């Protein structure tokens, strides 16, 4: 049999009845009895011994059900004087968003208005839940039909767009070009490569946004050295990959340069 409340739960009388009801309960309904396996070994013990033994055990696992949700939506606010009701209300509030595990037994709630019949909230069956889920995509599709992605811009939207563009131009703030500091390792073919000529080939590569810096020769193995050189580029004007593939390691520079490796790459 379902739980019944005789008063409108939004009225003081209904809240008082609900507070009294919850004073000895964790939820409106929804408890699952658990078999205590330890009891199997104490069947022949005396009653007092059984009570002492089981004083620390919990016989029922309580959990929220749809009955709690049905009552929760009927309550607009909880006065502080109803402590049990406040405890339950805050607990259900924390559980919202999670799936209620117990199916519930249904709740009968008096409306408190003679012109309005009483309402019975029954547990939703799996079939009804499936129907609700099937109807949801159809409703979402109807909402999408109201949205026209290709509608023409209104006069107000055009004016607002033009105003924003004018404000950007009026600000007169120059765009700050991004720059990067790079260190390259440039390796020769062998120990007979003229490193002076190699560096001349590297520095001969010039383009807007490219600035060569300090350099030094670093020993790789006995008799073979590589050129380590710093450079600064403007990111919008120079592509480091394009610089290496199309200029440094291509003809005629590939006569001296075997390969180029990026040692460091930092944004400025």
Residue 145, phi then psi, degrees to nearest 5: -65, -25
What distance in Å separates the CA atoms of residue 140 and residue 151, rounded to the nearest whole number? 20
Percent of the chain with pLDDT over 70: 64
| pTM metric for this prediction | 0.37
Residue 180 pairs with which residues in a beta bridge? 233, 267
The answer to which of 96-105, 159-168, 195-204 has the lowest mean pLDDT is 96-105
Gyration radius of the chain's alpha carbons: 40
b/e 69-104 (16+ beta carbons within 10 angstroms → b): bbbbebbeebeeebebbeebbeebeebeeeebebeb
pLDDT digits (tens, 9 = 90+) for 31-90: 544 444 344 444 445 555 544 554 444 444 567 788 888 888 888 788 888 888 888 888
Kind and range of the H or E run holding 262: strand 257-267
Q: Is the pLDDT of residue 260 over 70?
A: yes
Q: Write down the H helix ranges in 107-191.
A: 126-145, 155-171
**Ranges of CATH 3.30.70.60 domains, the chain:** 179-267
CATH topology of domain 179-267: Alpha-Beta Plaits (3.30.70)
Chain Cα centroid distance, residue 99: 20
Tell me how crowded residue 193 is: count the other CB atoms within 10 A of its CB. 17
């Amino acid at each position: 049999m379902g739980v019944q409340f005789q008063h409108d739960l939004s009225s003081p009388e209904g809240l008082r009845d609900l507070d009294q009801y919850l004073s000895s309960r964790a939820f409106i309904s929804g408890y699952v009895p658990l078999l205590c396996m330890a009891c199997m070994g104490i069947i022949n013990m005396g009653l007092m011994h059984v009570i002492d033994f089981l004083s620390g055990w919990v016989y029922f696992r309580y959990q929220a059900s749809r009955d709690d949700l049905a009552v929760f939506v009927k309550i607009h606010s909880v006065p502080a004087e109803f402590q049990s009701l406040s405890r339950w209300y805050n607990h259900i509030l924390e559980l919202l968003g999670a799936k209620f595990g117990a199916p519930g037994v249904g709740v009968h709630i008096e409306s408190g208005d003679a012109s309005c019949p009483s309402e019975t909230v029954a547990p939703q069956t799996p079939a009804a839940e499936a129907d609700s889920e099937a109807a949801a995509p159809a409703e979402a599709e109807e909402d999408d039909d109201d949205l026209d992605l290709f509608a023409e811009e209104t006069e107000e939207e055009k004016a607002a767009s033009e105003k924003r563009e004018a404000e950007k131009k009026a600000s007169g703030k120059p765009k700050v070009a991004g720059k990067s500091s790079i260190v390259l390792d440039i390796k020769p073919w062998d120990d007979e490569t003229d490193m002076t000529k190699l560096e001349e080939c590297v520095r001969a590569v010039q383009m807007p946004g490219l600035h060569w810096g300090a350099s030094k020769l670093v020993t790789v193995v006995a008799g073979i050295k590589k050129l380590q050189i710093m450079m600064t580029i403007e990111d919008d004007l120079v592509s480091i990959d394009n610089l290496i593939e199309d200029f440094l390691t291509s003809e005629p520079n590939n006569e001296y340069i075997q390969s180029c490796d990026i040692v460091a790459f930092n944004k400025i």
